[in-house]
Structure 1
């Protein structure tokens, strides 16, 4: 099995488990919407930047933002640096999901650490952070 698939399988499990607890907590978002929400910066992000970061078309990002806006998870606000542009910003409703997701991530990481051991988990994190230096274009 190639390394990409070996990296993807645990990530997919983590993502599915996070989505399950988010849904159980009453946050009605799809996986595609959640992936877009994750990429919105603390001060808001332009739609074109969201589309690029999520690796979707601007039309797809716009559609997802429309859905999220109708559900009350995001709002569009004027960009203070460019009067012609708008920023997509998360609302307090969306921010409420963060602690739910963070708690599940902590549970999952603890489970993984129990399974592979503290030393290996530390090494895994260090190796992935190092790989991020050459693979993460948004770093």
Structure 2
């Protein structure tokens, strides 16, 4: 079976979209109805030690203002909080709340479940081969957190 060049990125995007949609449906069932796809990138960029809006914008590839608006939205639903930076009280640090950490921990477990479902459907060997092939064709680190800026959605 032959395929046209444009189908590969579309199929990869569709697979990503399916996994993310399933993740968010399950997160909603588990008490996180306000999580959105870009929130995961933002919360990963905030990290366990917190960050400033300027640093967050730089990591995400968006403006400080766009990062600030996203932080406000995450703060309204309880995923992050702002506090004075203990090293420089003129600066504000954005930190994950316990609710935000819970969302990330649940996401990790749900992704494991989704991967297991793919392994059941495709077979573990084929899935491992797919993952191996994708590792060969992509940069070594999968942690590209600048996707929001690349997509232009923040």
TM-score tier by shorter-chain length is 0.7 to 0.9
Aligned equivalents of 1:124 and 1:63: distance in 2?
Answer: 37
2:112 counterpart of 1:106: yes
For normalisation by structure 1, the TM-score amounts to 0.79
Q: 120, 124, 127: which is aligned to 2:130? A: 124
1:111 Cα offset (Å)? 1.4
| Unmatched tracts of structure 2, length 5 or more | 1-5, 146-154
Match of 1:21 in 2: 26
Which digits, 9 at most, give the CA deviation of each residue in 1:57-114, with x for residues without a partner?
3222211211222322111133345554322110011112233222221121011112
Over 4 Å off, 4+ runs: 80-83, 134-138
Q: CA-atom RMSD, angstroms?
A: 2.5
Aligned equivalents of 2:105 and 2:47: distance in 1?
Answer: 17
Contact 1:69 1:75 in 2 (8 A): yes
**Matches of residues 1-139 of structure 1 in structure 2 within 5 Å?**
1-31=6-36, 32-130=38-136, 131-133=138-140
Contact 2:53 2:68 in 1 (8 A): yes
Contact 2:42 2:60 in 1 (8 A): yes
Q: 1:128 to 1:79 in 2, by over 3 A?
A: farther
Q: How many residues align?
A: 138
For normalisation by structure 2, the TM-score amounts to 0.73
Aligned equivalents of 2:46 and 2:52: distance in 1?
Answer: 9
Aligned equivalents of 1:110 and 1:33: distance in 2?
Answer: 24
Q: 1:78 to 1:126 in 2, by over 3 A?
A: farther
| Unmatched tracts of structure 1, length 5 or more | none
